[in-house]
């Protein structure tokens, strides 16, 4: 049975005018919007109200967006869209490594943000409705989808949220080769299909943590000219 309540969105930004515009636009689209003007109040709102999605500004006084995001990830896997005035590649990669679901660069149109919100909420709802597959075992590597943990020889590996999503996408298609475009859509979203560098960089990060010898990978295999696949169990 579908949940009849509107999705709850928490917007955290020190710009009061932007918060007001976001609230008007998102409420007009049918969402229930709450707001905070600093990271600490945002964390309190997250704990109290359990939003379905967080829109978080990077540049804030006292507790900036990065520290706020770290605090959020300590207590929740709620989807997060980051707002930033900078379009630096390093910022985008840092955000994805910390578990950001999407990135919007200021200045942006409210229509664009609404589209990103819909896309992220749709992906999150699909992930919940797909059910939890049984753990995937490949050699001494165990991907436990229920707990979102990865174990190697019985030890829990410390993967970032993006690294976990990448490995999970490969594990759900174990033995099949996924192209760069397929991985970008599954892990980062359809709007990132023209950013193959993200896949290559995060495959490298992932191999550093799961492979005995990252230069000779036996779990995540490269299929030259196409993409990657997880070895069969």
User: What does the alpha-carbon distance between residue 170 and residue 230 come to, in Å, rounded to a whole number?
Assistant: 6
**Residue 32 pLDDT > 60:** yes
pLDDT at position 18, please? 93
Prediction pTM value: 0.74
User: What does the alpha-carbon distance between residue 39 and residue 12 come to, in Å, rounded to a whole number?
Assistant: 7
pLDDT at position 17, please? 93
Considering only 24-38, 125-139, 153-167, 173-187, which range has the smallest mean pLDDT? 125-139
Q: In this predicted model, which residue has the larger pLDDT, 125 or 48?
A: 48
Domains and CATH numbers, the chain: 8-129 (3.40.50.2300), 136-230 (1.10.10.10)
Containing 17, the helix (H) or strand (E) segment is: helix 16-28
pLDDT at position 1, please? 43
User: What does the alpha-carbon distance between residue 132 and residue 142 come to, in Å, rounded to a whole number?
Assistant: 15
**Residue 232 pLDDT > 90:** no
**Residue 200 pLDDT > 50:** yes
Containing 4, the helix (H) or strand (E) segment is: none
């Amino acid at each position: 049975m579908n949940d009849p309540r509107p999705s709850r969105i928490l917007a955290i930004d020190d710009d009061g005018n932007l918060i007001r515009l976001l609230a008007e636009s998102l409420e007009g689209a049918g969402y229930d919007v709450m707001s905070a003007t600093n990271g600490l109040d945002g964390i309190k709102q997250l704990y109290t109200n359990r939003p379905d999605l967080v829109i978080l500004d990077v540049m804030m006084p006292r507790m900036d967006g990065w520290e706020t995001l770290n605090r959020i990830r300590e207590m929740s896997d709620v989807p997060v869209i980051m707002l930033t005035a900078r379009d630096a590649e390093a910022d985008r990669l840092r955000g994805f490594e910390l578990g950001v679901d999407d990135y919007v660069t200021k200045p942006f149109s409210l229509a664009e943000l609404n589209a990103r919100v819909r896309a992220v909420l749709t992906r999150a709802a699909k992930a919940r409705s797909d059910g939890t597959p049984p753990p995937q075992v490949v050699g001494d590597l165990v991907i436990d989808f229920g707990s979102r943990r990865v174990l190697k020889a019985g030890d829990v590996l410390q993967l970032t949220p993006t690294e976990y999503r990448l490995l999970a996408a490969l594990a759900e298609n174990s033995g099949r080769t996924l192209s760069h475009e397929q991985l970008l859509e599954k892990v980062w979203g359809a709007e990132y299909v023209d950013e193959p560098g993200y896949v290559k960089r995060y495959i490298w990060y992932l191999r550093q943590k799961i492979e005995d010898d990252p230069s000779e990978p036996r779990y995540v295999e490269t299929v030259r000219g196409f993409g990657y696949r997880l070895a069969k169990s």
